[in-house]
Amino acid sequence: PSESAVRDFWQWLSDEGVANSSSSPPPVKPEFVPEGLGLVAQRDITKNEVVVEVPKKLWINPDTVAASDIGRVCGGLKPWVAISLFLLREKALGSASSWRPYLDILPLATDSPIFWSEEELSEIQGTQLLSTIMGVKEFVQSEFIKVEDDVILPNKDLFSSPITFNDFLWAFGILRSRAFPRLRGENLALIPLADLINHSSSITSEDSFWEIKGKGFFSRELIFSLRTPIYVKAGDQVYIQYDLAKSNAELALDYGFIESRQDREVYTLTLEITESDPFYGDKLDIAETNGLGETAYFDVILGSPLPPSMLPYLRLVALGGTDAFLLESIFRNSVWGHLELPVSRANEETICRVVRDACKSALSAYHTTIEEGLAYSFLET
């Protein structure tokens, strides 16, 4: 966005009563920062002080879409699909849209791999992130084809400018990177201004820094209220912690950045009891009794112990031969306890082989070796 777009946005907010509401002058202002735009403190702000309050009339959520010109054709759509169409149509309307000041400050892309070129994506060949990205793009593509056939093409009067898959992907990326984590599904909403807050790894408190509340004692209008989790000096940026639980792959997909912290490095191992297993029924029963299923996903975190049920599940999957007696129903209540320790040498050897083979095959998709990768990252720094 340009300097003038940011000025217009700020003017729009102040016309709407946001920038000059309860506390004047406002504690923060949108400014250019290394992360794009951000919220910069205009004075010292104390911990937990409210920095931004945005009334519901400025949110873009399913109600906004329903009340708009395209509302009548968006009834059955998923909230994110409806909001995406709304954003794209308002964008196409240009200065005829009352949302223009907000739309004009939205980035054209983030660094999320969903926006990368083929060539850029080839750099992450072999990673789990790449397969996630391909899956996500296929999903967005299929949703696009559906909504194009069902809504866009049959309503040319409403959608006079064409909407492409890339436009739709942009809207998906905008929602993914800007919607506050608990505002998902039916509650999905874009909150202009509040959505300019950037993430900092140094904020580790998981306390909720925002809430939705009634505007005042006599008003039923809702406002979105955002607080700073820490004290901020005048001129510094206000930050929050987006999500402590997200892996680097999830951060990359959602926001287009990662953190160099071991516990963000996660590989999700998928294991399953195959139907061709001679003990399929018994194994499935045991897995289900212990809160797992036919397919189980285990997040292996760099530098952390393995997920507690991963080894027992692996031992169960590999169980056979003379160890199969453990599957008999008389052991049903105690078998998991047995699986928490090695069952037999043969079983333990099998799980080692299975995991080693899985690692080898996963690593073989990379086009460089670990040594080459390390040498390369050394050259880069």
Nearer to ligand SAM (CB atom), residue 80 or residue 255: 255
Helix and strand numbers (H, E) in the chain are 13, 9
Choices 34-42, 92-100, 280-288, 329-337 (CB under 6 A): range interacting with ligand SAM: 34-42
**Of 147, 195, 273, 326, the one binding ligand SAM by CB under 6 A:** 195
**Of 64, 68, 84, 177, the one binding ligand SAM by CB under 6 A:** 177
Nearer to ligand SAM (CB atom), residue 251 or residue 343: 251
CA 10 to chain centre: 28
State in angstroms the smallest separation of the CB of 151 from ligand SAM.
27
Q: Give the helix/strand (H/E) hosting 358.
A: helix 345-364
Nearest to 53 by CA among 90, 26, 85: 26
279 near 287, Cβ under 8 Å?
no
**Of 61, 64, 84, 198, the one binding ligand SAM by CB under 6 A:** 198
Rule CB under 6 A: is residue 38 a binding residue for ligand SAM? yes
For strands 28-33 and 210-216, give the pairing.
Answer: unpaired
Rule CB under 6 A: is residue 257 a binding residue for ligand SAM? yes
**Of 55, 71, 107, 307, the one binding ligand SAM by CB under 6 A:** 107
Choices 58-66, 193-201, 279-287, 362-370 (CB under 6 A): range interacting with ligand SAM: 193-201
Rule CB under 6 A: is residue 37 a binding residue for ligand SAM? yes
Choices 11-19, 96-104, 254-262, 272-280 (CB under 6 A): range interacting with ligand SAM: 254-262
Rule CB under 6 A: is residue 320 a binding residue for ligand SAM? no
Nearer to ligand SAM (CB atom), residue 107 or residue 126: 107
Rule CB under 6 A: is residue 110 a binding residue for ligand SAM? yes
State in angstroms the smallest separation of the CB of 206 from ligand SAM.
17
**Of 256, 287, 327, 347, the one binding ligand SAM by CB under 6 A:** 256
Question: SS3 string of 138-194?
Answer: HHHHHHHHHHHHHHHHHHCCCCCCCCCHHHHHHHHHHHHHHCCCCCCHHHCCECCCH
Name the token pair of 140.
Answer: 């967005």
Nearer to ligand SAM (CB atom), residue 27 or residue 192: 192
CA angle 110, 58, 143 (to 5 degrees): 50
State in angstroms the smallest separation of the CB of 213 from ligand SAM.
21
Rounded to whole angstroms, the Cα distance separating 113 from 252 reads 7
155 near 73, Cβ under 8 Å?
yes
State in angstroms the smallest separation of the CB of 322 from ligand SAM.
55
Rounded to whole angstroms, the Cα distance separating 282 from 279 reads 6
Name the token pair of 347.
Answer: 């079983």
Rule CB under 6 A: is residue 196 a binding residue for ligand SAM? yes
Which residues have a Cβ under 8 Å from the Cβ of 231 and sit 6 or more positions away?
A: 44, 45, 46, 47
Which residues have a Cβ under 8 Å from the Cβ of 286 and sit 6 or more positions away?
A: 316, 327, 332, 335, 336
Nearer to ligand SAM (CB atom), residue 36 or residue 126: 36
Q: Catalytic residue numbers?
A: 242
Nearer to ligand SAM (CB atom), residue 200 or residue 290: 200
Rule CB under 6 A: is residue 35 a binding residue for ligand SAM? yes
The residue sitting closest to ligand SAM, measured at its beta carbon, is 36
Rounded to whole angstroms, the Cα distance separating 115 from 170 reads 8
**Of 91, 178, 246, 283, the one binding ligand SAM by CB under 6 A:** 178
Rounded to whole angstroms, the Cα distance separating 239 from 119 reads 33
Footprint on this chain of ligand SAM (rule: CB under 6 A): 35-38, 107, 110, 177-178, 195-196, 198-200, 255-257
